Amino acid sequence: MRNRTYGDLFKLVRSLAGVGSFAQSEVDDVENIINRRFAEAYNSSQIWPRYLVTGEPRTIVAGRTVQTSEDSIHIYGAGDSEVNGLYRRNEDVNSTATFTKYDSNEIKIGNELFSLVSDGTIGYIVKGTPSLNIRSNPRLYQGTMQSETTPISYPTSGWTTVSGSSPAPFAQDLSHVGEFQRIHSDEPFVNNSAKEYEFFVTSRGAEILNVQNNNAGLAYVTYKKDFIPFAVTTDHGASTELVPEEFFEFIAHASYADFLRMDGQTDKALAEEQRAQVYLALELERVDIMSNNNTVNKRFSTYVNRQSR
C-alpha cells in the first residue's frame, strides 16, 4: 500500500483553490476540513485493506471480554511453531519487561515467563530469567539465557520491529481496535470452519456470548484499526506525514469543495463534491473486486450457527 505526503495534499488543495498561500485563518480551516474528509473516507468502508486485521489472537479478560487495546506483542514467522503466539505483558521484573505466552487458546502452565531483553539496539525474547550477558546476534532461546541451549533458527529478514528502545526483530505491537467485526474461537479464513462468537460492544471492549471454553485465554479477532487523524499544525506544505494514497484524491477534491462552500461558491462546490465522490467510489470498487467484501464480511448461516467457510 502506497502513501503520499500531507505536504503534497495541502499543496494540491492550495493549487485547486488557485492561491499562492492561505491566510492563517484559512490554514486552520483547511486543516480541520482535511481531517473531516479523512474521517469520511475511513468510515466509508469496513474493509479497507490498510486498516483491516483478520484473525488476530487477543486475550480474553474477565471471563469473556476482548479489550480494544492491549499491551502485548504478537510473534509470527519465527521458524518454530512453539515460538509463534501472543505474548501478553506483565509487570516488569528488575526493570525487564516480562510476558506470559498464550497458546492453543490456553495460558501455558509451568515455568512460562518470557523476558524482552535489549542491548540498546537489538532485542529478543528469552524464556525464563535472562542473564546480563547480551549477545549481539538476536535469538530466541528455550530454557534460560544462562544455559543458552537449543537456539531456534528463524528467517534473517522480513521482521517487523516494535517501536521503542527495545525492539524485537520478530514481534509486532497489537493495534488499537477501532471497530470489532468478527470474533472466532480458532484461527479463521484458513482451511476449515471456525466457531464464530456472537458478541456485543461496551466501553470495556467486545463482550463474547457463550464462550466455547470457560478457561479459554484467546479469541481470534477480525477488526478495523482505529482512526488516527493527521496531527500537522505547522509548515503544512512541507509536512512529510503520510497520507493513504487511496484517499489522496478524494480528500483533496472534497476539501476543495468544502473550501468553495465556505467561500459561498455553492455551485462550484457541488461540481467538485461530485468529482471527489467519483474518486472514492473507484477505490471502494477496487476493495470489492479484491473480494474482501465477499470473504471477510460474508457469513455462512445455518439453523445452528454462523461460521466462516
Residues 33 and 94 in one domain: no
Give 75-88 pLDDT, tens digit per residue.
Answer: 765 555 566 778 77
What pLDDT, on a 0 to 100 scale, did the predictor assign at position 253? 97
Residues 103 and 169 in one domain: yes
Residue 161: pLDDT band by 50, 70, 90 thresholds? very low
Euclidean distance between the first and the last CA atom of the chain, given in angstroms as a whole number = 27
- Tell which residue, 203, 164, 197, has the closest CA to residue 181: 197
Asked if residues 103 and 117 have their Cβ atoms less than 8 Å apart, the reply is no
Q: Which of 111, 145, 173 is at the close of a domain? A: 173
Give 29-66 pLDDT, tens digit per residue.
Answer: 999 999 999 999 999 999 999 999 998 888 888 778 99
Residues 39 and 105 in one domain: no
- Return the higher-pLDDT residue of 176 and 217: 176
Cα–Cα–Cα angle for 219, 105, 67, rounded to 5 degrees: 35
Domain that holds residue 249: 3-47+227-289
Residue 7 lies in a domain: yes
What pLDDT, on a 0 to 100 scale, did the predictor assign at position 101? 78
- Return the higher-pLDDT residue of 101 and 141: 101
User: How far apart are alpha carbons 220 and 177 in whole angstroms?
Assistant: 13
- Tell which residue, 219, 122, 244, has the closest CA to residue 171: 122
Residue 23 lies in a domain: yes
- Return the higher-pLDDT residue of 266 and 122: 266
Residues 43 and 99 in one domain: no
Residues 163 and 122 in one domain: yes
Q: Which of 173, 190, 210 is at the close of a domain? A: 173
Q: Provide the b/e sequence for 67-101 (b: ≥16 CB within 10 Å).
A: bbebebbbbeebeeeebbbbbbeeeeeeeebbbbb
Residue 278 lies in a domain: yes
Read off the pLDDT of each residue in 122-133 and give the average, rounded to a whole number: 54
Residue 98 lies in a domain: yes
What pLDDT, on a 0 to 100 scale, did the predictor assign at position 241? 94
Residues 21 and 92 in one domain: no
User: How far apart are alpha carbons 196 and 183 in whole angstroms?
Assistant: 6
Residue 276 lies in a domain: yes
- Nine-digit cell string for 34: 482535511
Residue 161 lies in a domain: yes
Domains contained in the chain, number: 2
Residues 36 and 87 in one domain: no
Residue 153 lies in a domain: yes
- Return the higher-pLDDT residue of 159 and 221: 221
Give 233-257 pLDDT, tens digit per residue.
Answer: 889 999 999 999 999 999 999 999 9
Residues 77 and 164 in one domain: yes
Give 278-290 pLDDT, tens digit per residue.
Answer: 999 999 999 888 7
Q: DSSP string of the chain?
A: --EEEHHHHHHHHHHHHT-S---HHHHHHHHHHHHHHHHHHHHT-S--TTTEEEEEEEE-BTTTEEES--SEEEE---SSTTT-EEEEE---BTTBEEEEEEETTEEPPSS-EEEEEESSS-EEEEESSPPS---SS--EESS-TTTT-SEEP--SS-PPPPSSSS--TTEEEPPPEEEEEEEESS--SSSS-B-EE-EEEETTEEEESS-S-TT--EEEEEEEEPP------S-GGG---EEEHHHHHHHHHHHHHHHHHHTT-HHHHHHHHHHHHHHHHHHHHHHHHTTHHHHTS--EE-SS-EEB-
Residue 53 lies in a domain: no
What pLDDT, on a 0 to 100 scale, did the predictor assign at position 99? 76
With 0-12 / 13-18 / 19 or more C-beta atoms within 10 angstroms meaning exposed / middle / buried, residue 5 is middle
Residues 83 and 167 in one domain: yes
What pLDDT, on a 0 to 100 scale, did the predictor assign at position 133? 42
Residues 75 and 42 in one domain: no
* pTM for the full predicted model: 0.76
Average pLDDT, the chain: 77
